[in-house]
Amino acid sequence: MAKEVLIEFQNISKTFGSIVANDKVCMDVMRGEILSVLGENGCGKTTLMNMLAGIYYPDGGRILIHGKEVTIHSPKDAFDQKIGMIHQHFKLIPVFTATENVVLGVKNGSRYNLKNAKKTIGEMCERYGFHIDPDKKIYEMSVSEKQTVEIIKVLYRGADILILDEPTAVLTPQEIEKLFAVLRAMRDDGKSIIIITHKLNEVMEISDRVSVLRKGHHIATIETKDTNVQELTEMMVGKKITLNIDREQVKDPADRLVINDLNCTNADGVKTLDHVSFVARSGEILGIAGIAGSGQKELLEAIAGLQKLDSGEIIFHRPKKDLPVSFFHKTFKQVTDLAAEGKFHYEDGTPVDLTGKSKKEIRSLVNDGKILFNEDEIMNLRDKTPLQIRELGVRLSFVPEDRLGMGLVGNMDIIDNMMLRSYRKGKSILVNRKRPESLADQVVKGLEVVTPDLHTPVRKLSGGNVQKVLVGREISSAPKVLMAAYPVRGLDINSSYLIYNLLSKQKEDGAAVIFVGEDLDVLLGLCDRILVLNAGRVTGIVDARSVTKEEIGFMMTKTGA
């Protein structure tokens, strides 16, 4: 097909306050192509497309369609130019059916007719290979089905130019395959498709050309077949970086956290955790895969003591085996009681019998570190509050999904946020800000947090730096169990890899790491084992070194079973 230029951006600029989102961007879109707009979070790719879709209006520059300058002030203006955008967060009415949502807002009387609409939708499905039940209500639909409705909605309004904002973020590998097939069919039908993304492998797979944006500037537009992942990464980041996760072999794994038959029901009576059992081991990263909302949040919050459970046990094995008694117990009575229960042995392995020994003898044996524990201490963390868990001496760290709403306090500075975990220490009624300050200083220097100073409210930092502050605090206590939920969401490539390597470092230091992720490539490259959650149930625990993406995708979506 002869390529003709359909849309032209000329010197498009847009600023928000002091932030320059787009700076004199010039690029074009051809008719009948799939164009990827690639860039890191905050590079201005969504802003640029929002200007094409009528959400924003450019501060400077011109947009040309078919060589004519156009003014797009609203989404309606965009539709008049046959431009439709499918946003990351769907804009559908849950209690309406697919058809009702599609016709909603269409002005033309005959097109508002539901019967006709259903017929048209049927034709579209056939033409592009969609599968959708036009009478199904939105709230009964999977994410992938909702996305299909959004695409049909745009097509129904006659769009020839489709913009999709991160369309694969919430889909499984199988659903992505289906979506790509549909997109190819639409391209072959002469439509232009723009995909906003930061996933390199998808760019390589689907697009004809790729435009790279960095910090609001257009870096280059090139044919996909002439480039490779490494080159695109360099354009995106602006410097050469290595995208390697150092995955060491697991050393001396020991059971650290034994999860036994957890059940949990939410306020609506839906089972969020359904007989979940697994073991997290020290020196290992256990990945948790699953479609968003499959129980990941509930599981981690249950372990952290934030979620009420219907039944089940959370058993923590506190490492004590072969460690000196003096490390844990100081009082004389505790030591003699435990010795009487036969919990100790000497360095050479012989059992300890303290009967008949004088207080002084026992004291010196303990203080010299001659008496060791036989085995780990076992405790059930179920129904313990976060405070009780800490008071038991369990070093459990948790990087929650909602960083500023749960892990940190946005309006407080870095020092006060460092203090969240430790402010109770000491008997004084006043808080001591000296130690948190030195910790904040360490984290800022060690993890290269970009901040004007330690007194800046964390909400003013960028997403990556916020996450570094949170992760830095959570690993500063040398955790025995470290849980991280979507720790790289919204982070640039450099920060993401920094976080991956921090998690790997914790694993090498003997922590049991639980990592909830959404990017299957990362899960496969970072973790040792992967647990797949599907509607609150464990549908598989597999070796990350031998499993394939497709196998995990299948476990994420299979029903019944």
Partner 1 sequence: MEQNKEPVSAPKQHRGLPFHIIKRVNIPIWKKITIYAVAIVGGLLLSSLICAGLAGKNPLDYFTYLFKGAFGTERKIWLMLLDAALLLGASMALIPAFKMRFWNLGGNGQMLVACLSAYSLSYFLGDKVPEWLLILLMFACSILSGIVWSLIPALFKAFFNTNETLFTLMMNYIATGIVLYCRASWITSGSAQFPTLTKGTLPEIYNNMLPTVAIFVLLTLFMFVYLKYSKHGYEISVVGESVNTAKYIGINVKKVIIRTMILSGAIAGLVGFILIARTGPGLSSDTPNNMGFTAIMTSWLANFSPLLLFLSCFFISFITRGMSQVQQGFGLTNNSIISIVTGLIYFCVIACSFFINYKIVFRKKEGK
The stretch among 105-113, 132-140, 218-226, 400-408 that binds partner 1 (CB under 8 A) is: 400-408
Smallest gap from residue 495 Cβ to partner 1 (A):
22
The stretch among 214-222, 353-361, 385-393, 513-521 that binds partner 1 (CB under 8 A) is: 385-393
**Residue closer to partner 1 (CB basis): 361 or 402:** 402
Q: Is residue 479 a contact partner of residue 394, using CB atoms and an 8 Å limit?
A: no
Give me the helix-helix angle, 549-557 and 173-188, nearest 10°.
100
Assess 398 for contact with partner 1 (CB under 8 A): yes
**Of residues 61, 253, 410, 463, which one binds partner 1 by CB under 8 A?**
410
Smallest gap from residue 431 Cβ to partner 1 (A):
5
**Of residues 2, 18, 95, 358, which one binds partner 1 by CB under 8 A?**
18
**Of residues 39, 134, 400, 553, which one binds partner 1 by CB under 8 A?**
400
Distance CA 458, CA 416 (A): 10
CA distances from 325 to 354, 395, 510 (A): 14, 18, 20
Smallest gap from residue 405 Cβ to partner 1 (A):
5
**Residue closer to partner 1 (CB basis): 63 or 498:** 63
Distance CA 522, CA 500 (A): 9
Smallest gap from residue 59 Cβ to partner 1 (A):
9
**Of residues 408, 488, 531, 538, which one binds partner 1 by CB under 8 A?**
408
**Residue closer to partner 1 (CB basis): 70 or 323:** 70
Q: How far is CA 304 from the centre of its chain?
A: 18
Q: Which two tokens stand for residue 104?
A: 């909603």
Assess 390 for contact with partner 1 (CB under 8 A): yes
Smallest gap from residue 421 Cβ to partner 1 (A):
6
Distance CA 68, CA 8 (A): 9
**Of residues 368, 383, 402, 543, which one binds partner 1 by CB under 8 A?**
402
Assess 423 for contact with partner 1 (CB under 8 A): yes
Give the contacts of 232 (CB within 8 A, at least 6 positions apart): 38, 200, 203, 210, 212
Assess 386 for contact with partner 1 (CB under 8 A): yes
Smallest gap from residue 161 Cβ to partner 1 (A):
18
The amino acid present at 209, given as its one-letter code, is R
Q: Which two tokens stand for residue 13?
A: 């600029």
Distance CA 320, CA 257 (A): 14
Rounded-to-10 torsion of CA 17, 22, 23, 28: -160
Smallest gap from residue 413 Cβ to partner 1 (A):
11
Distance CA 309, CA 274 (A): 11
Assess 502 for contact with partner 1 (CB under 8 A): no
Q: Which of residues 429-488 bind partner 1 (CB under 8 A)?
A: 429-431
The stretch among 114-122, 241-249, 422-430, 528-536 that binds partner 1 (CB under 8 A) is: 422-430
The closest alpha carbon to 220, from 455, 28, 436, belongs to 28
Smallest gap from residue 386 Cβ to partner 1 (A):
4
**How many residues interact with partner 1 (rule CB under 8 A)?**
40
Assess 316 for contact with partner 1 (CB under 8 A): no
The amino acid present at 33, given as its one-letter code, is E
**Residue closer to partner 1 (CB basis): 222 or 409:** 409
The stretch among 156-164, 386-394, 489-497, 513-521 that binds partner 1 (CB under 8 A) is: 386-394
Smallest gap from residue 43 Cβ to partner 1 (A):
20
Please compute Rg for the chain using Cα positions.
28
DSSP string across 43-97:
SSHHHHHHHHTTSS--SEEEEEETTEEE---SHHHHHHTTEEEE-SS----TTSB
**Of residues 32, 167, 407, 536, which one binds partner 1 by CB under 8 A?**
407
Assess 222 for contact with partner 1 (CB under 8 A): no
Assess 424 for contact with partner 1 (CB under 8 A): yes
Smallest gap from residue 423 Cβ to partner 1 (A):
6
Smallest gap from residue 231 Cβ to partner 1 (A):
30
Q: Is residue 471 a contact partner of residue 500, using CB atoms and an 8 Å limit?
A: no
The closest alpha carbon to 11, from 25, 30, 21, belongs to 25
Assess 406 for contact with partner 1 (CB under 8 A): yes
For the chain, the maximum distance between any two Cα atoms, rounded to a whole number of angstroms, is: 100
Q: Is residue 44 a contact partner of residue 98, using CB atoms and an 8 Å limit?
A: no
Smallest gap from residue 68 Cβ to partner 1 (A):
5
The stretch among 31-39, 207-215, 255-263, 381-389 that binds partner 1 (CB under 8 A) is: 381-389
**Residue closer to partner 1 (CB basis): 76 or 91:** 76
Distance CA 518, CA 487 (A): 10
Assess 131 for contact with partner 1 (CB under 8 A): no
Q: For the purposes of burial, counting CB atoms within 10 Å of the CB of 192, is it exposed (0-12), middle (13-18) or buried (19 or more)? A: buried
Smallest gap from residue 249 Cβ to partner 1 (A):
34
The stretch among 36-44, 87-95, 207-215, 383-391 that binds partner 1 (CB under 8 A) is: 383-391
**Of residues 393, 405, 508, 545, which one binds partner 1 by CB under 8 A?**
405
The closest alpha carbon to 154, from 224, 215, 219, 102, belongs to 102
| Strand order from edge to edge, sheet including 192-197 | 83-86, 161-165, 192-197, 34-38, 209-214, 217-223
**Residue closer to partner 1 (CB basis): 158 or 405:** 405
Assess 409 for contact with partner 1 (CB under 8 A): yes
CB atoms within 10 A of CB 219: 18
DSSP letter, residue 289: E
Residues that bind partner 1 (CB under 8 A): 17-18, 62, 67-71, 73, 304-306, 385-390, 398, 400, 402, 404-412, 416, 419-421, 423-424, 428-431
